[in-house]
Amino acid sequence: MVTLKDIGHKVNRSVTTVSRALAGCSDVSPDTILIVRKAAEEMGYFPNTLAQRLQKQSADTIGVIAPVSSKGYAESFFCEFLAGIGEEASNQGIDLLVAYAQEEDELSNYRKLISGRRVDGFILSRTLRDDPRVQFLNSLQFPFAAFGMIEGTSSLPYVEEDGEYAMGLVVEHLVSKGHTRIACICPPLSVLFAAKRLSGVQAKMKQLGLVLDPQLIREGSFDQKDGYEQTKSLLSLPNPPTAIIGFNDIIAFGAINAAKEQGLKIGKDLAVTGFDDIPMASMYRPALTTIRQPIREIGKMVTKLLLDTIKEKNAGIVLPEEALKDRQILLKPELIIRKST
Amino acid sequence: MVTLKDIGHKVNRSVTTVSRALAGCSDVSPDTILIVRKAAEEMGYFPNTLAQRLQKQSADTIGVIAPVSSKGYAESFFCEFLAGIGEEASNQGIDLLVAYAQEEDELSNYRKLISGRRVDGFILSRTLRDDPRVQFLNSLQFPFAAFGMIEGTSSLPYVEEDGEYAMGLVVEHLVSKGHTRIACICPPLSVLFAAKRLSGVQAKMKQLGLVLDPQLIREGSFDQKDGYEQTKSLLSLPNPPTAIIGFNDIIAFGAINAAKEQGLKIGKDLAVTGFDDIPMASMYRPALTTIRQPIREIGKMVTKLLLDTIKEKNAGIVLPEEALKDRQILLKPELIIRKST
DNA sequence: CTGAAAGCGCTAACAC
DNA sequence: GTGTTAGCGCTTTCAG
């Protein structure tokens, strides 16, 4: 592998001069620049990133730690999100490190990557109420950005779809179709987006003079099995719901399957909605009414936020609170109406 | 950040000694080891990976370049595969770098990562006939391993499900159900697995005294839209097929949707099969008969092959041909029969 | 058993 | 304009 030294040797210049010539510093003679660049080209020179990074004291890498266990989550949702992150990172010349959490202790994964200086920042997703990752990274002043709201501070960057508003759209739509008895199948409510969405449903129903029967709120997991089981249980109630809001598309698929098995006609006997609009949502039969999240775009946005944060930290800039507030982005979602309602 | 120097300072030893004490070299006095380790612990020392790597001349990182465009592929299949890779890599203390191909020229992505010494090897998937990536990496003697057969050499490591055998199982199953007019919807046949699978169908049909009507072989893309369109076209033939083999699950979903729209009863009027057994396969209605690929496991296996290859290269070991042959793994697949046939 | 010195490849401060 | 020196943090000869 050819190094600066090799080039310097060939063109009779010092390593320093070669380095600066390549960087295009103004204090190098045009002649030298030409000579050096030509030689570098001919010799097939490429800088050694490792060396550059060591000297810059920056890994030029951002990390994503994927939860290895939760299958439903590992699905297309995460994949799309990752693609967005990767695209934006690569646009900015930053590497993307993906780690798969093995340890019982989730934070140790973060700790390891940080202390080895292997990444300059993290992307989080699916933030929790009192999220230990947020607390940990924040206490270390280590840069990160999240897909999902961060509570209790206006200084941490995140992107989130406005889940409350979104659920308002869903409820309005369902009510306009004549539904009043509406059920919710939610992931754990410790996950912030789930809690937000639920309160969105409740708020809109209240506003429309309806109530969300506590019996019809089912808190479970993220996957279709859950949607399936909960729906079976819901339908066996003496006074079953006529509409089911799945808090993500996969849950909704499970709900549809369960209802179909009971011989119900989806979109007629029972309305089902999802959230995310993963590609499968339009393919499923019946096609799923859902909230579109431009997941890949969101991945890009979050990455931008993170990279901005990192740059500022490296430059020693501290933004005022107001500026940081602009890093908390709440997107207006869109309701996609299909056959399932 | 605390360094070896800091520790040395504190315990009155040289950097060298500290380094060796931490490494547990036998030529350091037990006392020193104890002292050093204690100090390191107290001071919260962690080695700077960048520095270690620069000096080791190894990135301790493997790369995966994802095709950014092909949506269908970006789905759960790729996600699962990535998880397998990540798991195994992390078990062996290796980082996983995921890049999203932007450039028109696919190889330049590889070139960039290699010349910057950012990775020690690559994982490929969906290999092609005369795959340019294979040729490129091989010409550079740069380590890689593939999910998908590599033709024309017995020295390159890969893992593949035996697609010919698998399609044999599918055809046998369909024929046992009375089907003789069978169609295939394939990804581009330049993709090796597609070609293999097709020849598997042909071989088994021939063996059973049947022929695969060339009219019923449809070559297209990887996604459900393709499965949908091709199925519509197939069903409009004067002599339509009674069974459709989708070369992956997503294609099969498209086929099912198209047939349903024509009022056909899947599993009765028309049989449809897939390939991969992605989680959605069992959830879809009707549930899909398909070939199970343990994708995550395969990801792990491929990664093991790659890491072994890298280790040997670093150690300067050259294995004999026979040993390399053991690095070409052909898995026996399993047929999962569900309602769609 | 320990330390000094060299070097991985690069950049930056400071002469000349 | 260019080169010398130093240093990023680590490992590895090689003396002592």
Contact B94, B307 (CB under 8 A): yes
Q: What is the pLDDT averaged over residues B128-145?
A: 95
Q: Which parts of the protein come within 7 Å of strand D, by CB position?
A: A 12-17, 20-21, 27-29, 31-32, 51, 54-55, 57; B 1, 3-5, 15-16, 19-20, 22-23, 45, 47-48, 51-52, 54-56
Does residue A51 reach within 7 angstroms of strand C, measured from its CB? yes
Q: Which of A114, A100, A112 is nearest to A65 (CA)?
A: A100
**How distant is the Cα of A284 from the closest Cα of chain B, in angstroms?**
8
Does residue B36 reach within 7 angstroms of strand C, measured from its CB? no
Contact A168, A103 (CB under 8 A): no
Chain B residues within an 8 Å CB radius of A260: 285
What 3-state DSSP class applies to A165? helix
Q: Which of A44, A61, A83 sits opposite B68 (nearest CB)?
A: A83
State whether residue A87 sits within 8 Å of chain B by CB. yes
- Residues shown for chain A: 341
For A15-40, the pLDDT digits (tens) are 999 999 999 888 899 989 999 999 99
Q: Which of A48, A91, A100 sits opposite B83 (nearest CB)?
A: A100
What 3-state DSSP class applies to B199? helix
Chain C bases near protein Cβ (<7 Å) = 1-5, 7-13
pLDDT, greater one: A242 or B75:
A242
Contact A131, A67 (CB under 8 A): no
Chain D bases near protein Cβ (<7 Å) = 1-5, 7-13
pLDDT at A323: 87
* pLDDT above 60 (res B216): yes
CA-nearest residue of chain A to B48? A116
Q: Which of A139, B253, B276 is nearest to B261 (CA)?
A: B253
Which B residues in the span 305-324 are in contact with A, Cβ-Cβ below 8 Å? none
Q: Which of B219, B158, B168, B209 is nearest to B333 (CA)?
A: B168
Q: What is the pLDDT averaged over residues B291-301?
A: 95
Contact B17, B28 (CB under 8 A): yes
Tokens of A76: 């297309």
Separation between Cα atoms, residue A249 and residue B76, nearest integer Å:
14
Separation between Cα atoms, residue A136 and residue B96, nearest integer Å:
23
State whether residue A254 sits within 8 Å of chain B by CB. yes
Chain B residues within an 8 Å CB radius of A249: none
Distance (Å) from CA B4 to C1' D9?
A: 8
Q: What is the pLDDT averaged over residues B311-325?
A: 88
pLDDT at B67: 72
Q: So what's the architecture of B61-160+297-330 in CATH?
A: 3-Layer(aba) Sandwich (3.40)
Chain B interface mutation, best of A55, A64, A79, highest count of B Cβ atoms under 10 Å:
A79
**How distant is the Cα of B266 from the closest Cα of chain A, in angstroms?**
13
pLDDT at A102: 72
Pick the CATH number of A4-47 from 1.10.15.40, 1.20.58.340, 3.40.50.150, 1.10.260.40: 1.10.260.40
Q: Which of A49, A72, A116 sits opposite B49 (nearest CB)?
A: A116
What ranges make up the beta strands (E) of chain A? 61-67, 95-101, 121-125, 144-147, 158-161, 182-186, 217-219, 243-246, 271-273, 290-292, 328-331, 334-336
3-state SS of B247-313 is: CCHHHHHHHHHHHHHCCCCECCCEEEECCECCHHHHHCCCCCEEEECCHHHHHHHHHHHHHHHHHHH
Chain B residues within an 8 Å CB radius of A284: 284
Chain A interface mutation, best of B50, B81, B102, highest count of A Cβ atoms under 10 Å:
B50
Contact B135, A137 (CB under 8 A): no
Lowest mean pLDDT among A17-21, B216-220, B278-282: B278-282
The vertex-B44 CA angle with B89 and B56, nearest 5°, equals: 45
Does residue B115 reach within 7 angstroms of strand C, measured from its CB? no
- Give the sign of the dihedral formed by CA B139, CA B144, CA B146, CA B150: positive
For B150-177, the pLDDT digits (tens) are 998 889 999 999 999 999 999 999 999 9
Q: Which of A49, A82, A253 sits opposite B98 (nearest CB)?
A: A82
pLDDT at A279: 85
Separation between Cα atoms, residue A78 and residue A148, nearest integer Å:
13
The vertex-B194 CA angle with B188 and B200, nearest 5°, equals: 140
Q: What is the pLDDT averaged over residues B265-269?
A: 95
pLDDT at A273: 98
Residues of chain B with pLDDT > 70, as a percent, come to: 97
For A138-197, the pLDDT digits (tens) are 999 999 999 999 998 889 999 999 999 999 999 999 999 999 999 999 999 999 999 999
pTM of the predicted model, to two decimals? 0.93
Separation between Cα atoms, residue A280 and residue A271, nearest integer Å:
18
Distance (Å) from CA A79 to C1' C2?
A: 52
Closest CA to the C1' of C12: that residue is A16
Query: Which CATH number applies to B163-292?
Result: 3.40.50.2300
| Cα–chain center distance at A119 | 18
Q: Which of B212, B246, B214, B235 is nearest to B341 (CA)?
A: B246
Q: Name the closest nucleotide to A29, judged by C1' and CA.
A: D1
* pLDDT above 60 (res B251): yes
Distance (Å) from CA B3 to C1' D7?
A: 14
Residue A333 DSSP symbol: P
What 3-state DSSP class applies to A171? helix
- Asked if the domains B4-47 and B61-160+297-330 are classified in one and the same CATH topology, the answer is no
Ranges of residues in chain A whose predicted pLDDT is under 50? 72-73
Separation between Cα atoms, residue A98 and residue A101, nearest integer Å:
10
Q: Which are the contacts of A166, defined by CB distance < 8 A and separation ≥ 6? A: A197, A200, A275, A291, A333, A335
Separation between Cα atoms, residue B328 and residue B316, nearest integer Å:
21
pLDDT, greater one: B278 or B134:
B134
State whether residue B297 sits within 8 Å of chain A by CB. no
Which A residues in the span 234-253 are in contact with B, Cβ-Cβ below 8 Å? 253
3-state SS of B102-171 is: CCCCHHHHHHHHHHCCCCCEEEEECCECCCHHHHHHHHCCCCEEEECCCCCCCCCCEEEECHHHHHHHHH
The domain segmentation of chain B, as residue ranges, is 4-47, 61-160+297-330, 163-292
Q: How confident is the model at residue B72 (pLDDT cuts 50, 70, 90)?
A: very low
